[in-house]
Structure 1
Amino acid sequence: MSDAIKHECGIALLRLKKPLEYYVDKYGTAFYGLNKMYLLMEKQHNRGQDGAGLANIKLDMKPGERYISRSRSVDPKPIQDIFTTINSRFEEISKQNPDLLRDIDYLKKNVGFTGELFLGHLRYGTSGKNGIESCHPFLRQNNWMTRNLVVAGNFNLTNVDELFEVLSNLGQHPKEKSDTVTVLEKIGHFLDVENEGLFKQYKTQGYNNKEITSKIAEHLDIQNILKRASEDWDGGYTMSGLFGHGDAFVLRDPAGIRPAFWYEDEEICVVASERPVIQTAFDLKKDDIKELTPGHALIIKKSGELSEVKINEPTQRAACSFERIYFSRGNDYDIYKERKLLGQYLIPQIIESIDNELDNAVFSFIPNTAEMSFYGMMKGLEDFLNVEKMEAIKALGSDMTDENLSKILTRKTRFEKIAIKDAKLRTFITQEEARDDMVAHVYDITYGTVKRNVDNLVVIDDSIVRGTTLKQSILRILDRLEPKRIVVVSSAPQIRYPDCYGIDMAKMSEFIAFEAAIELLKDKGKAYIIDEVYKKCVEQQNYPKEQIKNYVKEIYEPFTANEISAKIAELLTPVDMKSEVVIVYQTIENLHKACPDNTGDWYFTGNYPTPGGNKVVNRAFMNYIEGIGGRAY
């Protein structure tokens, strides 16, 4: 993606179901779980580089023995930092007595991160808070083992204010108003309620306090806790948690907005945000992995018993389509196919944009995440050219000669590696003019690949959000090749609306499609629509979120997608460009055709899957008009 955006986080949960001695005997190490967690987290580093965290719980520890460990980091390489810190302790032990590294009793009593239950998290900060205190997992501590709670998630809730008020009315005093703290305290509250209810129940049955502690650990109703805690959550989430005594859960939102996959065998149970991560870490086939059902929780009891249970009634599926376009790693079997289709379905628009001059066209991609859609685009162009060849051969009739046939058969689509990103170049100069010049050189080009003033140059990107990098850098450097026309193709549709479910796209001013629509309204003498939409948003700002309508759609309604694309091209073309610039976007219809199981498209269509989404988009528009920065939720 030329416009890098930060996005949803990643989780990894691992439960070792056998005694730790089993893994020493079979795999030769007491650190089987740690090694697998490193793989699960490192293979998801694409999901978060602002910070990372790892928590571990040891089962069946005696009073006075430490049973919860946690390490978090906001180092530039946080995963490596966490595991280097953890491993340094084992290296010290190895120097003293290497045999202790296979002594499970010693390790569990004396060294952290040697338990059976792990929870890892990769974080992108969507609110600008990147300190260590913002890193998951979060910990809610208590002297009662069954009241300890560790939480980490890939989520964003739209109704934090409402939830904060609920907690306040319960008599709590949360330390801050954030969705993470709110979720932690909401689950924690009903965990306390569940504990108190069971304590009273077993007390009346004559059990002593020590016996009651074991009974609570055995019979804690995780399903009931999650049901009561999450009934009023509005947002997208994959929420994971550990309880001090050894139970664990992963809960997914009712619309399936945020992803979660799991696998179980006799040795382990594992959950991650992406399917191929589990496949790689445990050498599995894709059909071995299950997707967590929306609205359901995967509950892992201390006994090792696993169940997938309904917590909230599933709604219409709205799994995030950006996962398929950009966010998830492309080595997932289905995502790879879908990204290729996204490129392939653009062929009619591409052919039209170059006036069917396929012989005078060079195709490439903007590094690096658009590479798979580029393959699909080239496959589509090959199919298109083959049809043209067949028609041309048929048209030869009696004029067919070896020379004429050879001329037809040797026609090929031309593709080149055009843009090269110089990852080492840093724009350290602070003066604005000089810095802009440096930004323009972050990418470099392959010279001699385009016939000057003859060829169309077509480059595919996976999405265009702000367009800043295109205007400041990419279009300028492509123009040095002096093509007749530069066509920038987006495998995603126009991004028109803010996200409020975990992606860092929160302000209307960040979207070049929105800027284009606003300019078109002014150009066409329809600026009054802007004022009307603002008034409608203001009028309903205090309505319950369930009654709020997305009026921002009216900003786009007077124009076709092609009109907005043309205006975007005008806005993004640098003033000194020699080449004509055309911008082509994916259609909503073809997006759904390519990614049929991930139909969540609210950032393209404004069709939010939860009521809170409409509240957020209207607030974002009001913030834009009022000149207020920051998120709208």
Structure 2
Amino acid sequence: MSDQIKHECGIAFIRLLKPLSFYQEKYGTALYGLNKLYLLMEKQHNRGQDGAGIATIKLDVKPGHRYISRYRSMAQNAVADIFGYVQGKFADIQNETPELMQDAEWLKQNVSFIGEVLLGHLRYGTHGQNSIENCHPFLRQNNWMTRNLVIAGNFNMTNVDELLEQLYELGQHPKEQADTVTVLEKIGHFLDDENQELFDTYKKEGLSNVEITAKISQNLNIANILTRSAKNWDGGYAISGIVGNGDAFILRDPSGIRPAYFYQDDEIVVAASERPAIQTAFNVGINSVQEIKPGHALIVKKDGTVTQEIFREPQEKRACSFERIYFSRGSDADIYKERKQLGRLLIDQILTAVNSDLKNTVFSFIPNTAEISFYGLVEGVHKHIKKIQKETLIERKENLTDAELDELLSMAPRVEKLAIKDVKLRTFITADADRKEMVAHVYDTTYGVIKNDVDTLVAVDDSIVRGTTLKQSIIKIIDRLHPKKIIIVSSAPQIRYPDCYGIDMSKLGQFVAFEAAIQLLKERGLEHIIEEVYQKCKASLLLPKEEIVNHVKDIYRPFKQEEISAQITKIITPADTVAQVEVIYQTLDNLHIACPNHTGDWYFSGNYPTPGGNKVVNKAFVNWKEGSNQRAY
């Protein structure tokens, strides 16, 4: 992606189902769980670089001994920093009494972070301050073991104000207005309720407090707690939590917006945001890793019982398509195929744009995440060439000269790596003019492979959000190669609407497609539409969110996709560009063909899967119109 945007987060959960001594004997280390947690987190490093954190819980610890450990970091390489800190707990033991490293029970009793339940999180902040307090896991502490709660998640709620009001009505006073706090406190409240109800029940039966504590630990109804907690949540979420006694859960929103996968056998239960992370860390096949169903929670009780239970009625599945296009690693088998298909499906539009002149067309991509789509595009070009060769041989087999036959059989797509990202370059200069000069050199190029004023250069990007890097860097650099034409191809459709479920795309004014539509309205004397949409959006904010519709669609309604693409081309083309420039976008129909199981496309179509999404998009338009730089949720 030429425009880097923050997004998502990553979760990693492990529950060891055997005693630690089992892993010591079978795998040679009592640190088996910690080692696997490190792998799970590193293999999802793409999901968060603003910070990270881990928490562990020891099962069946005697009173008076610590059983919850947590450590969070905002270091440049936070995962390595965390596990370096944890490894430090064992340094003296390894040096002074190495035999104790073989004693799993001693390690559990005497060293923090050695436990059976482990939770990790990688953070990409979509808003707010980037501080250690914003790093997951979050901890809600209590002297009652079964009232302690640890949570970490990949989530954004659209109705934080509403959820906060409900907490006020419950008598709570949250310390800040954030969805992380509301989620933690909401679950914590109903966890307290469940504890109290069970306590009262067992007290009436005449049990002692010690006996009651054990009974509560056995009989906490996690599904009931989650059902009551999530009743009014509106958003996309995959949230993992651990109760102090060792009960654990991973829940997924009813529309399946955010991804969540799990694997289990007789030794372990593991969950993560991405399937390949589990496959790699535990060396298991693709069919062994399952998705957590929308509206379901994977629940692991302290006794090791594993169930998947409904906590919210599942809705139509609208899994995030941006996960497939860009965010998740392409090492997932299905994602790899889908990204290649996204590239193949662009062939017809590209052939039209180059007038089918493949001899004078060079194909390249904008590193690094567009590479897989590029492979699919090249395969599509090969297929097109074979079709030409076959048809020509059939039609002209009797009168083809040797020279014509040689030329026909030598046809192949011209493929070059022209855009090279200089990852070492840092735009540390603060003055705007100087910063723009530095940004212009974030990408470098390969010289000597373009025929001056003859070749058309087709460069594939996986998506275009703001278009600033294209304008300030990429187009300028490749224009120095003197192509006749530059075609920027987005394997994703036009991004027209804000996201409110975990991606850092919350402000309409930052989208080049929105900017293009506004310019077209003004150029064509349709400015009244802008005012009408503003009035509709502002009035809608007084309605219950369930009654709100997306009025921002009216901004785009007068125009065909090609018209907006043409206007985007004008916006992102630097004034001194010599080559002709054209921008081509994937169509929505082709997106759904390529990613049939991930139909969440609200940032392209404006069709939000939850009522809160419509409220957010209208609020975002109001903010833009009024010049407010605030987030819309």
TM bucket (normalised to shorter chain) is: over 0.9
| 1:531 alignment partner in structure 2 | 531
Amino acid corresponding to residue 194 of structure 1 in structure 2: E
In the alignment, what sits opposite 1:621?
A: 621
1:210 aligns with 2:217: no
Amino acid at match of 1:522: K
Give the corresponding residue for 1:463: 463
For residues 429 and 261 of structure 1, the distance between their equivalents in structure 2, rounded to whole angstroms, comes to 42
SS in structure 1 opposite 2:465? coil
User: 2:334 corresponds to which letter in structure 1?
Assistant: D
* Distance of 2:570 and 2:236 partners within structure 1: 35
Deviation for aligned residue 1:249 = 0.2
Could you tell me how far apart the structure 2 residues matched to 1:597 and 1:224 are? 29
Q: What is the alpha-carbon distance in structure 1 between the residues aligned to residue 366 and residue 585 of structure 2?
A: 15
Secondary structure in 2 aligned to 1:398?
coil
CA distance in 2, matches of 1:387, 1:570: 35
- SS of the aligned residue for 2:189 comes to helix
Q: Residue 181 of structure 2 corresponds to which residue in structure 1?
A: 181
User: In the alignment, what sits opposite 2:142?
Assistant: 142
* 3-state SS of paired residue (1:66): coil
Q: Which residue of 2 is the match for residue 511 of structure 1?
A: 511
Between 1:384-393 and 1:153-162, the stretch displaced more is 384-393
Q: How much does 1:385 deviate?
A: 1.1
Percent sequence identity is: 62
Separation in 1, partners of 2:145, 2:558: 60
Q: Determine whether 1:117 maps to 2:124.
A: no
Amino acid corresponding to residue 359 of structure 1 in structure 2: K
CA distance in 1: counterparts of 2:505 and 2:431, whole angstroms: 27
Q: How far is 1:325 from its partner?
A: 0.2
Aligned positions of 1:231-630 closer than 5 A: 231-630=231-630
Deviation, structure 1 residue 389: 1.5
Matched AA of 1:490? S
TM-superposed CA distance for 1:155, in Å, is: 0.4
Counterpart code for 1:68: I
Structure 1 CA distance for aligned equivalents of residues 450 and 341 of structure 2? 27
Task: Give the Cα separation in 1 of the matches to 2:630 and 2:378.
Answer: 40
Deviations 1:129-170 (A, max 9, x none): 210000000000000000000000000000000000000001
Distance 2:209 2:431 in 1: 69
Letter in 2 for 1:59: L
Q: Secondary structure at the match of 1:399?
A: coil
- Letter aligned with residue 16 of structure 1: L
1:82-108 superposed Cα distances (whole Å, 9 cap, x missing partner): 000010110122122111112223212
Q: 1:250-309: per-residue Cα shift (whole Å, max 9, x none)?
A: 010000000000011000000000111100000000000110000000000000000001
TM-score (norm 1): 0.99
Letter in 1 for 2:268: I
d(CA) in 1 for partners of 2:501, 2:168: 24
Name the stretch that deviates more: 395-404 or 140-149. Answer: 395-404
CA contact (8 A) 2:21 2:105 kept: no
What residue number does 1:11 align with? 11
**Does the residue aligned with 1:75 lie in a helix, a strand or coil?**
coil
CA distance in 2, matches of 1:196, 1:429: 57
Equivalents in 1 of 2:23, 2:561: separation in Å?
58
In the superposition, the TM-score normalised over structure 2's length comes to 0.99
CA positional deviation for 1:406? 1.2
- The size of the alignment, in residue pairs, is 633
How many Å separate the matches in 2 of 1:172 and 1:360? Answer: 68
- 2:171 is aligned to 171
> Take 1:149 and 1:527, find their aligned partners in 2: how far apart are those partners?
53
What's the CA shift string for 1:187-237, capped at 9, x where partnerless? 000000000000011111111000000000000000100000001000000
How big is each residue's C-alpha offset from its partner over 1:450-486, in whole Å with a ceiling of 9 and x where there is no partner? 1010000000000000000000000000000010000
Q: Which residue of 2 aligns with 1:131?
A: 131
CA distance in 1, matches of 2:484, 2:19: 68
Q: Secondary structure at the residue paired with 2:476?
A: helix
Deviation at 1:109, TM superposition (A): 1.9
1:520, 1:358 → 2: CA distance?
33
Contact 2:367 2:421 in 1 (8 A): yes
Distance 1:430 1:278 in 2: 41
Aligned pairs (5 A) from 1:16-31: 16-31=16-31
Taking only aligned residues, the RMSD between alpha carbons, in angstroms, comes to 0.8
In 2, distance between residues paired with 1:422 and 1:139? 40
1:87 aligns with 2:87: yes
Deviations 1:58-89 (A, max 9, x none): 00000000000000001111000100001011
Contact (CA 8 Å) 2:540, 2:548: kept in 1 or not? Answer: yes
Question: In the alignment, residue 63 of structure 2 is paired with which amino acid?
Answer: P
Matched, 1:221 2:221: yes
**Counterpart Cα distance in 2 of 1:272 and 1:434:** 42
Q: What is the Cα deviation at residue 405 of structure 1?
A: 1.2
SS in structure 1 of the partner of residue 319 of structure 2? coil
Q: What SS is found at the alignment partner of 2:39?
A: helix
| 5+ residue gaps, structure 1 | none
Give SS of 2:136's match: coil
- 2-structure distance, mates of 1:246, 1:427: 46
Q: Which residue of 2 aligns with 1:162?
A: 162
> For residues 88 and 456 of structure 2, what CA distance do their matches in structure 1 show?
56
